[in-house]
Structure 1
Amino acid sequence: MTESPRQKPVILLAATEASRDVLESEFRSRYARDYDVRTLLGPGGCVEAATELVADGRRIALLGVDHALDGDALDLVDELRRLSPTSRRIVLVSSGTFREALEVLRPALAVGRLDTYLLIPQGPRDEEFHTAITEYLSEWATTASTPEVAGVRIVDDGHQPSVAGIRDFLDRMAVPWTRYRPGSDVARELFAEVGDDAPLPLVSAFGRPTITAATDRSVASGFYGAPSDLGDDYVADLLIVGAGPAGLAAAVYGASEGLRTVVLDPEAVGGQAGTSSMIRNYLGFPRGVSGMRLAFRARLQATRFGARIFTGRAADGLTLGDLHEVSYDDGVLRARAVLIACGVRYRRLGVPALEALVGMGVYYGAATSVAREMEGRDVVIVGGGNSAGQAALHLARFARSVAIVVRRPTLAETMSAYLVDEIATHDDITVMTRTRVSDGGGDGRLEWVELETDDSSRRRPADGLFLLLGAEPGCDWLPDEVARDARGFVLTGRDIPKTHWRDGLPPAPLETTVPGVFAAGDIRAGSMKRVASASGEGAGAVAQVHAFLAPTPD
């Protein structure tokens, strides 16, 4: 059955007489099967069309505006953003005016008025152009659209807090999912398998047995296997604890260089970086990349080289010896070398009334899977780091209002300048400095929060509270032999006190006080707490692991 154009998401193009035929041809030839492609002349017709589409409940996936339109093309982009905030916005530029256009487009891009600018194709098979278009359509489909394929089926009645974590896990693993209510045909099918009194939520996919009373960890371990699958005699050359940027980089380099490489992580791959809606300053991604997509690609890369990655498995102990042993939920893995790359975790807010609503309007981390549910609602974000800034910009595509709450006097003290500048251009984002959240509540889910300053407090409506409160080390499972600083971060190399050096020499730059145990990324004392530096440390650690594992010369 052929899908009617009205059912398809829309690609809306505002063209000039000179560019209309080229844009019409390029977009229809590539995307007309899956998108309703509309090419309109002039800014006025585009605004009218967008207004009608939104009023009809249509989804506009991408907006393309010719920079040569009469008037200010960027003003048109701004107006279209207000009409359809979730749409990806691209300014299209002819080659003859590209240099002059850059003077205007670069600063506009820096403050988020558009997602990117592209040269209008000058001939057939402009694959760089279409690669960019496809990436933006993919990002839109991942973050703003309902999945077309029900890869995972979730049955819940809306009162199970664990569903938020399950959805977030599946989104970060790039697995499509669909929710069903208990009275649906899918629910009856699953209840027939597990029994009518099985506790919700139910999760089913991949031909595996349906999981009852599901959590993100039970889904992770149920769908992606267990370390016990490796066998009782298995010994890894390199065991990596943590699947953030540092751990994934080490997995890629370790496995590609022939090391038997295993990765453990209690959650989805990507770590905190995996929850970032858009990372714009990562080397090699000029148009930016979401943390989920970066982690997904790294996971594919590592597994294709032979690394084994097990999610939903939390390390809870390290026993040192000729072969180090890492214990996890229900087993032990042995390895010749261990890399601690477990990153950091968000600090808890510590307000009992809000802790009781985690998963029901209160979320630790960006929880990008929940963003679509915030459409037309009021959102509060607590935190002043880059993750908080990225979350605010992403949620602003959906929410009626977004408030960023920080204790410091400005965002600039802790957030990258490009994010501060972009946030300043959003009328829907309010920054509340020298403020903290002291209370909150609601009937079964979040409805309000209490905000305090030094001299006042007030209640604010809130449908979503996203807590990105800064970092604390997640390595309390390590033995005392692995030295840490006063804050609990792992010491390596020359940062280790000389009393722990061996034969008067410091350990390797990423080696801990225990031979064969290394640390990389945010968990390491003195690290930069950036995605690029964590990736570099993970890759660099593999060379030091090789040196440690190399046979001692006679």
Structure 2
Amino acid sequence: MSTTPPPVLLLVADQHLGDLRAGFARYTGEYDVRAVRSLEEAERVVAGIRDDGGALALVATDAVLPDADPVAAFARLRSLAPHARRVVAAHWELFLAEAERLRPAMAKGKYDAYLLMPRGIRDEEFHQAITELLSDWASTAAGPEVVSVKILCDGLHPDLHGVRDFLDRMGMPYRVYDPESEVGLAVRQAHAAEVGEDPAYPLVVAMNRPAVQAATAQKVAATFYGSAEGVDVPGTVDVCVVGGGPSGLAAAVYAASEGLSVVVLEAEAIGGQAGTSSMIRNYLGFPRGISGMRLAQRARNQALRFGTRFVTGWRVEGMEPGEDGAPHVLRTAGGHVSARSVVVATGVAYRKLRVDPVEQLVGRGVFYGAAMSAAREMEGADVYVVGGGNSAGQAAVHLARFARSVTILVRRPALTETMSQYLITEIDYHERIAVRTCTEVTDGGGDARLEWPELTCTTDGSTERVPAQGLFLLLGAEPHCDWLPAQVARDERGFVLTGRDVPRERWTDGLPPENLATTVPGVFAAGDVRAGSMKRVASASGEGASVVPLVHAWLAPEPE
């Protein structure tokens, strides 16, 4: 059992405090539930929690407080406890009357949910919302209570960040230990027969799994979720989906649910680029938002339920198109998969900055992607996020829970061309986030880790060195499809061409391929890897589902 004090849930209400307290009665076993009647009292309680080194997980207020508006109260409390989730739990006498006034503030990120205070026991809709927020807080702000994976590493190793990011994206709680610490020595002793007295770090160990020396994300993926020995998929499957992002997962769910045999090949973590997002707020059906990790894991479990097989840790290195009815063959370093049809859903990678001094600091203050695992290390730091897309906006909002300041750098004169309005609104409101337009990173340095990036104005060429402890790079998109053969048409940027985007000279009998079909019969593309895609999670999921009828038509026997 943990010896640390339980996290605090703070309830703030006056006239209806008893009803609010009753609504949170079920949480008293695992949380320290405290109740006050005013913002003034709440500020004293929160300051005390902070001074004692405790953790405030959530603040819930009634729709009306005696000494402040709830939205103003959240703003004042956020400066004391930026990680805490914020909820208006309106009494049923106030819920409708105050909704029009209070709900618009959610769009600006001023609080997380507007809920109806429970009117009795077992109000599971209310408790589902609360537990989702607490789960999100626990996975992003709090350290794990139960450690599933132990990582031993001596200092800042270039592969350590990749391993941590993979475990975060797979939802596996972990801690990093010095090899000479008490825990580190115990782990080394327990696994001495397996790894020797002088193991290669990072060393990753988990219950019922082989230890991984000189660990990389791909090695851990193969050991934990695949087979480190190789790929073993006997026979020929109906569908091989290459890539486990939203489009690949959707294709797997719908194809397997229709009775097709499905294998998903994923080199690293399920979820793709979307899996790194701290909070996706505009995905249909999740009014309070959902993290990319949770969305990906739910989709993976759904696909598993229908019989999909996942092969993780082996990158596809090539494909041999089948001819005259022969199956397509996908090759990896660990073996091959034979499939009657292929869905290319490998998505995109963040474009490299290509500034050598900065590239040398990757994993040591410089990170590609949202880097959920690195965010907790940015407590009190000055952080820069490079990129103008939704991923960059989500990363900035998440980092602002920890960092002293977050600055978004974009080459364009504004964010409006590339970022959703809901994120722009939230960023404009947030007092810790600033935006610098017409700016790029041209240099950087530091002794053991990043200490400063150099910023250059794209309009007048002026430069400035700024102190920073974190630089998060979310730069555009490059397709993951170098492994495809030349028979698959691509545009000048390398994205896969489908449907009417295929050049007319490569049409068959004067007709273009189907909308999501490539120039190779039986090979389809969905999601961000496809030329002309929207580069949004919802559209990628939709394409993954839409490709399945085309696969069915391809696999159907020819009519006599």
Q: TM-score range by the shorter chain?
A: over 0.9
Q: Show CA shifts across 1:124-170 (max 9, x none).
A: 21100000000000000000010011101100122212111111101
Alignment check: 8 A CA contact 1:382 1:388 kept:
yes
What is the one-letter code of the residue matched to 2:209? R
Q: State the Cα distance separating 1:185 from its structure 2 match.
A: 3.6
Cα–Cα, structure 1 residues 254 and 227, in superposed 2: closer, same or farther, change >3 Å?
A: farther
Cα–Cα, structure 1 residues 523 and 223, in superposed 2: closer, same or farther, change >3 Å?
A: same
Paired residues for 1:286-305 under 5 Å: 286-305=287-306
Paired residues for 1:66-145 under 5 Å: 66-70=62-66, 71-145=68-142
CA distance in 1, matches of 2:184, 2:93: 58
CA distance in 1, matches of 2:185, 2:256: 44
Query: Could you tell me which of 545, 548, 552 is aligned with 1:546?
Result: 552
What is the one-letter code of the residue matched to 1:15? A
Q: Which moved more, 1:88-97 or 1:356-365?
A: 88-97
Q: Show CA shifts across 1:414-439 (max 9, x none).
A: 11111111101111111011111111
Alignment check: 8 A CA contact 1:379 1:464 kept:
yes
SS of equivalent residue, structure 2 residue 94: helix
Paired residues for 1:190-201 under 5 Å: 190-191=187-188, 192-193=192-193, 194-201=195-202
Query: Could you tell me which of 152, 158, 173 is aligned with 1:161?
Result: 158
Paired residues for 1:349-388 under 5 Å: 349-388=353-392
What is the one-letter code of the residue matched to 1:57? G
Alignment check: 8 A CA contact 2:329 2:337 kept:
yes
Q: Which moved more, 1:68-77 or 1:340-349?
A: 68-77
Q: Which runs of 5+ in 1 are unaligned?
A: none
CA distance in 2, matches of 1:378, 1:134: 31
Alignment check: 8 A CA contact 1:155 1:187 kept:
yes
Q: Show CA shifts across 1:43-68 (max 9, x none).
A: 11011101111111111011111111
Q: State the Cα distance separating 1:256 from its structure 2 match.
A: 1.3
Q: Which runs of 5+ in 2 are unaligned?
A: none
CA distance in 2, matches of 1:97, 1:90: 15
Answer yes or no: is 1:444 the counterpart of 2:442: no
CA distance in 1, matches of 2:159, 2:311: 20
What is the one-letter code of the residue matched to 1:376? G
CA distance in 1, matches of 2:162, 2:234: 34
In the other structure, the counterpart of 2:52 is: 56
SS of equivalent residue, structure 1 residue 421: helix
CA distance in 1, matches of 2:28, 2:111: 24
Q: Show CA shifts across 1:458-487 (max 9, x none).
A: 111111110000111111111110011122
In the other structure, the counterpart of 1:311 is: 312
Query: Could you tell me which of 8, 12, 22 is aligned with 1:14?
Result: 12
CA distance in 2, matches of 1:214, 1:425: 41
CA distance in 2, matches of 1:429, 1:233: 52
SS of equivalent residue, structure 1 residue 551: coil
TM-score for the superposition, normalised by structure 2: 0.96
What is the one-letter code of the residue matched to 1:540? S
Answer yes or no: is 1:38 the counterpart of 2:42: no
CA distance in 1, matches of 2:14, 2:449: 49
Aligned length: 550
In the other structure, the counterpart of 1:213 is: 214
Alignment check: 8 A CA contact 2:89 2:115 kept:
yes
What is the one-letter code of the residue matched to 2:94? T
CA distance in 2, matches of 1:507, 1:134: 47
Q: Which moved more, 1:188-197 or 1:223-232?
A: 223-232
Alignment check: 8 A CA contact 2:231 2:335 kept:
no
Q: State the Cα distance separating 1:227 from its structure 2 match.
A: 9.2
Q: State the Cα distance separating 1:229 from its structure 2 match.
A: 7.1
What is the one-letter code of the residue matched to 1:534? A
Q: State the Cα distance separating 1:504 from its structure 2 match.
A: 2.6
How much identity, in percent, do the aligned residues show?
A: 57
CA distance in 1, matches of 2:185, 2:249: 40
CA distance in 1, matches of 2:471, 2:230: 39
Alignment check: 8 A CA contact 2:62 2:89 kept:
yes
Q: State the Cα distance separating 1:519 from its structure 2 match.
A: 0.2
CA distance in 2, matches of 1:285, 1:209: 37
Alignment check: 8 A CA contact 2:63 2:94 kept:
no
Query: Could you tell me which of 493, 504, 508 is aligned with 1:502?
Result: 508
Alignment check: 8 A CA contact 2:229 2:334 kept:
no
Answer yes or no: is 1:485 the counterpart of 2:491: yes
What is the one-letter code of the residue matched to 1:250? A
Kindly report the root-mean-square deviation, in angstroms, between the aligned alpha carbons of the 2 structures: 1.5
CA distance in 1, matches of 2:249, 2:549: 15
Alignment check: 8 A CA contact 1:227 1:333 kept:
no
CA distance in 1, matches of 2:331, 2:78: 50
Query: Could you tell me which of 521, 535, 539 is aligned with 1:533?
Result: 539
What is the one-letter code of the residue matched to 1:23? L
Alignment check: 8 A CA contact 1:408 1:434 kept:
yes
CA distance in 2, matches of 1:183, 1:97: 58
